[in-house]
Structure 1
Amino acid sequence: MDRFDAMRAFVTVVTEGSFTRAAERLEKSPQLISKYVSALEQHLDVRLLNRTTRKVRLTEAGTRYYQRAQTLLDEIDDLESQLGDLHAQVQGQLRISAPVSFAMHHLAAPICAFQRDHPAVDIDLQLNDRKVDIVEEGFDIALRIGHLKSSSLVAKRIAPVRLVMCASPDYLARHGTPVRPEQLKQHRYLRYSFVENDGSLAMHRWLQDGERDTAADLVSNNGDLLVRAAIEGAGIAIQPTFISGTAIANGQLRVIMQEYEPEPMGLYAVYAHRQLLPGKVRTFIDFLDGYFGDPPYWDALDAGTDT
């Protein structure tokens, strides 16, 4: 016996005044309603209703049980309604994990625009370049950049991420412009330390093959610093255009060796489950989808591309 089904059947019999009307209200057979009430009486070891052919009447025990059962069922219905509203409506706290540089350059505007449209959503945005455990760390969404491997998580592609090899005009004037991979050995490399994730693994391998004729490379776990170093003439970097695009567009950096450009990556919204997705999560993902464009707005590179 499901105790709550039996309790609801009993309360409905009392409020409707008969087993037949209770069965109609609950869309069940009178026989099943009677079975529920009998099972509840057996479970409680007390008679709750006195039945006649015309009506039902509460016993003293039934009166006391009805009052408490009605209150309990009302509280359960209210709780389920609140949870349903929370799931369907766009409200509550939305916890997001995002890469540092991408968020600093491009997330403030969409986050603020989303909250203007949905003022009942509080956003907790945590910036970190490591791969967070969404479930363990309590995030609703993680924005990730890369070539995602299959997993139990759900991923929605938000925008393409182009990686370009670039250097300052001054650096290229002093050291020459490489046109083939083997010529990179003569140049200084500004390397992102998460090389397996930044799309520059091929360049890293080219640079490691054979002897180098240059000073030590610069390695950092922050793409903004590497782009800044490239602008200062420190060497060649492979960085996504969402970081380097402005410097390329205004001529501070030039794109080189386009024919050897790494395979584009993607910006993905990653979340734990596809089904029963809360309204705040579903709406935010839909909001981001297409927000940056395809190609995204930061890919205005014509002014700084060597042809």
Structure 2
Amino acid sequence: MDRIDAMQAFVRVVETGSFTRAAETLQSSRTRVTQLVQSLEAHLRVKLLHRTTRKVNATADGAAYYARVVRLLADLDDAETSLSAASEAPRGRLRVDVPAPLARLVLVPALPDFHARYPDIQLDLGASDRHVDLIDENVDCVVRGGTLSDPSLRARHLADLALGIYASPAYLARAGTPVHPHALDDGTHRIVGYRGSRTGPPLAYDLQRGDEHVSVHGRPVMSVDDGNAYLAAGLAGMGVLWLPHYMAREPVAHGELVPLFEDWQLAPMPLYLAFPPSRHVSHKLRVFIDWVVDLMAQQAPAILPPKAREAPPA
């Protein structure tokens, strides 16, 4: 038995709650993972896991052993990456999930720079707005806008994205140009709704002009759960949009969207990079985080005041 392999298999089973999912994330077979864990239990002469038809849970001894093994594996990784060659050339597979518009407009165009710096990192990039279970799906980190739904995650603040309200010329020709934000609530106008991974009623959008404050929900004509589809619906004239400036910049320049309420201010949307609290921050993840922080500093300079809020797609 390779004890390190067995420890890694045990950790993944505990984190995913399944031998099958653990095998998938380790790119191994269920039989192999099962054999490794059984060998580890035999070596320790302790039952580490409760197995049922639906779920695998750690025993009391298994939970205590898991906590120590996670630290041990992290120390082992630190020892390897502290070597000069490893520090200069981080390597390995890095699984990341980011909002689709951010991937298309910001991240992917800049990736040649990242690859030139770190050619030995294989980046597996998911572009979605869905909820990602970082443990079950073995994802190293996600980038998300708005308030994080899981407070247990560790997070790095990346930027505060400036927001604006926009509509297409076709929509304004049909519905007229609203002169006050209240027009979005009084039945005169329609918005495109954005669901994302949230549940429950839609949140209000707060606007300020001098001493005047308004809170607007809008009347959705439709709702979508993808940032690119959200933008496409607005460009097609379906309704009014709330967008980060980086998403609206090109359509506004081409005359495809028109800014509304430019004398009003909207609270910016925080952008975070999040990763599991139990996951060791490897050298490859560290360099990726630092690279994204620098990239967003260029793409979304600091905004004052940095008031947090939930908002449409990041």
8 Å contact 1:121–1:280 — kept in the other structure?
yes
Corresponding residue for residue 52 of structure 2:
none
> Aligned partners of 1:223, 1:117: CA distance in 2, in Å?
29
TM-score, L = length of structure 2: 0.57
1:224-303 counterparts in 2 under 5 A?
224-258=228-262, 261-273=265-277, 277-293=281-297, 296=300
State the SS of the aligned residue for 1:186.
coil
TM-score, L = length of structure 1: 0.59
> Aligned partners of 2:131, 2:198: CA distance in 1, in Å?
13
Corresponding residue for residue 11 of structure 2:
none
State the SS of the aligned residue for 2:164.
strand
State the SS of the aligned residue for 1:183.
helix
> Aligned partners of 1:291, 1:270: CA distance in 2, in Å?
16
- The structure that is helix-richer by fraction is 1
> Aligned partners of 1:280, 1:79: CA distance in 2, in Å?
11
State the SS of the aligned residue for 1:290.
helix
> Aligned partners of 1:228, 1:79: CA distance in 2, in Å?
44
Aligned residues between the structures: 212
> Aligned partners of 2:135, 2:284: CA distance in 1, in Å?
17
* Amino acid aligned to 2:191: Y
Give 1:207's match in structure 2, choosing from 203, 218, 235: 218
Corresponding residue for residue 109 of structure 1:
109
Structure 2: tracts of 5 or more residues without a match: 1-75, 206-214, 304-314
8 Å contact 1:91–1:118 — kept in the other structure?
yes
> Aligned partners of 1:242, 1:250: CA distance in 2, in Å?
14
Corresponding residue for residue 28 of structure 2:
none
CA shift for structure 1 position 81: 6.2
The change in CA–CA distance for 1:234 and 1:80 in structure 2 (over 3 A counts) is: closer
CA shift for structure 1 position 217: 0.6
CA shift for structure 1 position 189: 1.6
8 Å contact 1:160–1:295 — kept in the other structure?
no
CA shift for structure 1 position 279: 0.9
8 Å contact 1:165–1:261 — kept in the other structure?
no
> Aligned partners of 2:94, 2:299: CA distance in 1, in Å?
27
Task: Indicate the structure (1 or 2) with the bigger Cα radius of gyration.
Answer: 1
Greater shift in the superposed pair: 277-286 or 140-149: 140-149
8 Å contact 1:159–1:290 — kept in the other structure?
no
> Aligned partners of 2:260, 2:144: CA distance in 1, in Å?
26
CA shift for structure 1 position 118: 0.9
CA shift for structure 1 position 79: 10
Write the deviation string for residues 134-172 of structure 1: whole angstroms up to 9, x where unpaired.
223211111111123672322112222233211123422
8 Å contact 1:154–1:274 — kept in the other structure?
no
The change in CA–CA distance for 1:171 and 1:150 in structure 2 (over 3 A counts) is: closer
Corresponding residue for residue 91 of structure 1:
91
8 Å contact 1:146–1:266 — kept in the other structure?
yes
Corresponding residue for residue 158 of structure 1:
158
The change in CA–CA distance for 1:194 and 1:276 in structure 2 (over 3 A counts) is: closer
State the SS of the aligned residue for 1:102.
helix
1:5-24 counterparts in 2 under 5 A?
none
State the SS of the aligned residue for 2:230.
helix
> Aligned partners of 1:278, 1:139: CA distance in 2, in Å?
13
Write the deviation string for residues 195-225 of structure 1: whole angstroms up to 9, x where unpaired.
959xx722596435xxxxxxx7122222323
* Amino acid aligned to 1:178: P
Corresponding residue for residue 210 of structure 2:
none
Structure 1: tracts of 5 or more residues without a match: 1-77, 209-215, 300-307
Give 2:195's match in structure 1, choosing from 166, 170, 193: 193
8 Å contact 1:160–1:265 — kept in the other structure?
yes
Corresponding residue for residue 136 of structure 1:
136
> Aligned partners of 1:234, 1:80: CA distance in 2, in Å?
52
8 Å contact 1:162–1:241 — kept in the other structure?
yes
1:40-189 counterparts in 2 under 5 A?
82=80, 85=83, 88=87, 89-148=89-148, 151-184=151-184, 185-189=187-191
The change in CA–CA distance for 1:141 and 1:172 in structure 2 (over 3 A counts) is: same
The change in CA–CA distance for 1:79 and 1:251 in structure 2 (over 3 A counts) is: closer
> Aligned partners of 1:79, 1:194: CA distance in 2, in Å?
35
Question: What CA RMSD, in Å, does the superposition of the two structures yield over aligned residues?
Answer: 3.4
